[in-house]
Structure 1
Amino acid sequence: MPCTIDHLVIAAEDLDAGAEAVSATLGVPLAPGGQHPAMGTHNRLLSLGEGEYLEVIAIDPQAIPPGRPRWFALDSFEGAPRPVAWVLRCDDLDAALAAAPEGIGAPMELSRGDLAWRLTVPEIGVTPFDGLFPALIEWEEGDHPAEQLPPSGCTLERLELFHPAAEALEAALAPLVEDARLLVRYGALPQMRAVIATPHGPRLLGP
């Protein structure tokens, strides 16, 4: 039941500033995204090739607060835009949930335009392992965001996760994903970074 990498989440305090920073780093423009009324957030998107993309996400100051912790720990986010989460695409979300650690969260049914999906959202807004364990997503049949985005010439080259309990994190991931681009390493502080191949050479997002 392996899942596959679906998308990377880059948090920002302000969406326009975050999108501009990521675009400057990668040397390519981001595409429009949309709003998430259930979470009070909005985003911009970038294709990372077939079936994968990157989103820059921030709290939408015009949205009604959701009355619960927002996803990806956005309520407490501050500082420069950086990778804070990643999402695994699963053909059978319920089966994947059975193999995931406690605290992954219950699936929420969400939609935006002609897109509809189920995504695990923890009650506290943070996935296990200080947010380094991925959220799990199952898209309804039909379009996927990556299919609607213009080609960017960018692909995910490497995703690195650093955590004090690296071995436990790696063991928790093993039943769900096997991807040579995914590296789990010891780090005194939980953090993640992504190496993106671009038309201008590899670029680093994160510390």
Structure 2
Amino acid sequence: MLKLDHLTIIAPSLAEGVHHVRDALGIDMPFGGRHPEMATHNHLLRLGDDIFLEVIAVDPQAERPAAARWFGLDDAKAVRAAWDDGRRLGGWVARSGEIDVVLAWHGPVFGDKRRVSRGDRSWLFAVPPDGALPMNGLAPSLIDWDGRPTPAAAMPDLGARLKRFEVEHPDPARVAGLYDTLGLADPPDILRGTQLRYRAIIETPHGIRILQ
């Protein structure tokens, strides 16, 4: 089974992403680190014992990687268009301790396994060959922490807790079928909407807030 690991704000720049979260949640996210294999960097916010929020963007100080970056970040125009349209919570990540087994069944959805790192932690992550989000964002990305626990519990606790995670889509039955086929243990709540859009309802020290 796959389990929700973290939510991802895919930002044109790290500063814009952090500012958006500050406006939405009233919380300043701590800096996470850099991913040298992907030439990206992030900020992280704990949302529970095993769930967190990530803001990720291209690291302008890093050399462009040989392979495509994750989360569709190489397509700067598409990232900006989604951002300006208000679709800033653009992706999410599901974890498995058996990434090779999952990819044997669903490799065309998730892509190819790659080893990435941040600081002293390394893990396995599946990325489609072109770096795009799986199924244009409808499916989660796939992570395997390679025998280590999720880093969420070691992050500072700033009082944020994920209460509900939702996806809007014109065809909810299709989405439900996909998530069932992938074996997701805790998929988002599925609502009918005009386009693909994610929404997180988060309890904060300032009350219930919505992030999207």
State the TM-score, normalizing by the size of structure 1.
0.89
* 8 A Cα contact 2:6 2:93, kept in partner: yes
> Which stretch of structure 1 is more off in the superposition, 95-104 or 134-143?
95-104
Inter-CA distance 186–125: structure 2 relative to 1 (3 Å threshold): farther
Q: Which residue of 1 aligns with 2:197?
A: 191
Q: Does 1:66 align with 2:45?
A: no
Alpha-carbon distance in structure 1 between the residues aligned to 2:148 and 2:68: 29
Q: Which residue of 1 aligns with 2:100?
A: 94
Amino acid at match of 2:10: A
| Number of aligned positions between the proteins | 204
Deviations 1:52-96 (A, max 9, x none): 111101111111112333211122310357111100111211222
* Identity in percent: 39
Alpha-carbon distance in structure 2 between the residues aligned to 1:143 and 1:133: 23
* 8 A Cα contact 1:196 1:205, kept in partner: yes
Q: Does 1:105 align with 2:104?
A: no
Structure 2 unaligned runs (5+)? none
Q: Which residue of 2 aligns with 1:177?
A: 184
Inter-CA distance 114–67: structure 2 relative to 1 (3 Å threshold): closer
Q: Which residue of 2 aligns with 1:128?
A: 134
Amino acid at match of 1:123: P
Deviations 1:1-55 (A, max 9, x none): x221111110111112321220231122211111112111110000011011111
Q: Which residue of 1 aligns with 2:45?
A: 46
Structure 1 unaligned runs (5+)? none
Tell me how large the CA RMSD over aligned residues is: 2.0
Deviations 1:132-166 (A, max 9, x none): 20011110233532132100211111221223343
Q: Choose between structure 1 and 2: higher helix proportion.
A: 2
- Divergent runs of 4+, >6 A: none
* 8 A Cα contact 2:36 2:117, kept in partner: no
Q: Does 1:153 align with 2:159?
A: yes
Alpha-carbon distance in structure 2 between the residues aligned to 1:4 and 1:95: 15
Alpha-carbon distance in structure 2 between the residues aligned to 1:164 and 1:45: 31
Amino acid at match of 2:204: T
State the TM-score, normalizing by the size of structure 2.
0.87
